[in-house]
Amino acid sequence: MDYGFQIETIEQNGGYFDYLRQEIMRVPSISERYIAKPSFLARVCCIIMVSILERMARKDKDSGELLTFGYMVRAVKL
């Protein structure tokens, strides 16, 4: 169904590496909430992984086809 709208653009919101980076940034707080306060080493590992994924995301060539935060759609009412 189109509900009387015409889609003008559809854009991916982030890509695979952006998504992974976001989730790894959440690991310490989720761990603390559901398991225990993460160790210093675990926190450092997360920081390192986030840094690596940031660099990978800058070189990304459309990994959003695998995984993305979602889509931004621009549509106009007909």
Q: Cβ atoms within 10 A of the Cβ of 31, count? A: 16
C-alpha to C-alpha distance for 69 and 57, rounded to whole angstroms: 14
Contact status, residue 53 vs residue 24, Cβ threshold 8 Å: yes
Q: Which residues pair with 9 in a beta bridge?
A: 74
The one-digit pLDDT tens for each residue of the chain (78 residues) are: 668 899 999 998 899 999 999 999 999 999 999 999 999 999 999 999 999 999 999 999 989 889 998 999 999 998
Q: For the whole prediction, is pTM greater than 0.85?
A: no
